[in-house]
Amino acid sequence: MNRQALIHQIKSKGTYLCVGLDTDPEKIPESLLDHPDSIYEFNRQIIDATMDHCVSYKINTAFYEAMGARGWEIMERTIAHIPATHLIIADAKRGDIGNTSAQYAKAFFATMKADAITVAPYMGEDSIRPFLEYPDKWTIVLGLTSNKGAADFELQDSGGQKLYERVLETVSRWGSPENLMFVVGATQADEFLNIRKLVPDHFLLVPGVGAQGGSLAEISAKAMNKDIGLLVNASRAVIYASSGADFADQARQAAAAYHDEMRQYLNGF
């Protein structure tokens, strides 16, 4: 899905919500436990219930890998179930030397058919380039993350600027707003105005609202650009809105609440 199509989806639906499928076998509702394919069935019901309220799904690969090869197979079928109208993000945080990153790009873009992948910047340009070379695919590089550990390196000085600022500045030269986004955590609201000076045109993928405590209102006010430029992810707050038999309906309502709020902030687009 290219930039124009993504912006069209956001404007026409009035939402920039991404729903994170961090599906944990230990949190599957009791009503599904007897289902022979319970993880996939959970995902399928969540997707069907929330698709009118979001423009993207983010698959957190860790939760599937914890199940081994079976988890990968569920991840593949889950992606196949997501409609083409929605941007599919593999939240995989990959990155390695060039010939290995090329294999990761193949894994997620060609084999798994995701539209986007999250990538860690530590190893530099040749670890990121192979992802950027796929047409109509997105590379989403970690900028400033939502966790406490962001203070350990990302926020440290790097030659007169913060490391994450150097990452945004440097990596933005390797791609364009057509194929490159950055991850910026919702808990980092103080930094958003600064971030928009460094990368005014790029889309930002913003996790950390809901369970991690970031404010949707504040992020939207500070980080939206002329093309919206925001995908805000909620995972646990949507998919685990209820642990009962009504989990899908409650997930729909949680996603609809974000949608309603986002529609206000999109007023004027």
According to the 3-state scheme, what is the secondary structure of 218-229?
HHHHHHCECCEC
How distant is the alpha carbon of residue 229 from its chain centre? 13
x-marked contacts with its own copies along 206-225 as a string, rule CB under 8 A: ------x-------------
Neighbours of 245 (CB within 10 A): 12
Euclidean distance between CA atoms 18 and 115, whole angstroms: 13
Count of residues interacting with its own copies (CB under 8 A): 62
Query: Are residues 186 and 215 in contact, defined by beta-carbon separation less than 8 angstroms?
Result: yes
The least CB distance from residue 68 to its own copies, in Å, is 5
Q: With respect to its own copies, which residue has the nearer C-beta, 49 or 112?
A: 112
**C-alpha dist (Å) from residue 166 to 121, 142, 176, 178, 203:** 11, 12, 16, 20, 18
One of 93, 106, 137, 162 is an active-site residue; which one? 93
Query: Are residues 137 and 115 in contact, defined by beta-carbon separation less than 8 angstroms?
Result: yes
The yes or no reply on residue 27 touching its own copies (CB under 8 A) is no
x-marked contacts with its own copies along 74-113 as a string, rule CB under 8 A: -xx--------------x-xxxxxx-xx-xx-xxx-xxx-
Q: For its own copies, which residue of 5, 7, 32, 67 counts as binding (CB under 8 A)? A: 67
Euclidean distance between CA atoms 41 and 38, whole angstroms: 5
The least CB distance from residue 110 to its own copies, in Å, is 8
Half-sphere exposure of 101 (CA within 13 A, CB side): 25
The yes or no reply on residue 265 touching its own copies (CB under 8 A) is no
Q: With respect to its own copies, which residue has the nearer C-beta, 36 or 68?
A: 68
Euclidean distance between CA atoms 163 and 181, whole angstroms: 17
Q: With respect to its own copies, which residue has the nearer C-beta, 126 or 249?
A: 126
The least CB distance from residue 210 to its own copies, in Å, is 13
The yes or no reply on residue 159 touching its own copies (CB under 8 A) is yes
The yes or no reply on residue 128 touching its own copies (CB under 8 A) is yes
x-marked contacts with its own copies along 224-263 as a string, rule CB under 8 A: ----------------------------------------
Q: Which amino acid is at 15?
A: T
Query: Are residues 232 and 219 in contact, defined by beta-carbon separation less than 8 angstroms?
Result: yes
The least CB distance from residue 97 to its own copies, in Å, is 4
**C-alpha dist (Å) from residue 107 to 78, 83, 103, 114, 261:** 15, 20, 6, 9, 36
93 is catalytic: yes
Please give the positions annotated as active site: 93
User: Which residues contact its own copies by CB under 8 A?
Assistant: 22, 24, 60, 62-63, 65-73, 75-76, 91, 93-98, 100-101, 103-104, 106-108, 110-112, 120-128, 142, 145-154, 156-159, 163, 166-167, 170, 212
